[in-house]
Amino acid sequence: MTAQLTQPMLPAEVPLHERDGRYLRHAIALADQARARGNRPFGAVIVAPDDTVLAEAWNANGETGDCTAHAETSAIRLASPRHSREALAQATLYSSGEPCVMCAGAIFWSAIGRVVYGIDAERLRVFRGERLDQRDAELSCRDVFNTSGHAIECIGPALIDEASASHHGAWKT
What pLDDT digit, counting tens, does each position of 118-141 carry? Answer: 999 888 877 766 655 555 666 789
Which 8-state DSSP code applies to residue 109? H
Mean per-residue pLDDT over the chain, rounded: 90
CB atoms within 10 A of CB 69: 20
Average of pLDDT values for 48-76? 97
List pLDDT tens digits, range 76-99.
999 999 999 999 999 999 999 999
- Active centre residues (catalytic): 72
Average of pLDDT values for 30-55? 97
CA angle 127, 131, 132 (to 5 degrees): 125
pLDDT at residue 56 greater than cutoff 70: yes
The span from the CA of 118 to the CA of 163, in Å, is 5
The span from the CA of 128 to the CA of 124, in Å, is 6
3-state secondary structure of 141: helix
pLDDT of residue 100: 94
CB 21, CB 155: distance < 8 Å: no
Asked, as a colleague might, if the bond just before 8 is cis with ω within 30 of 0, I would say no
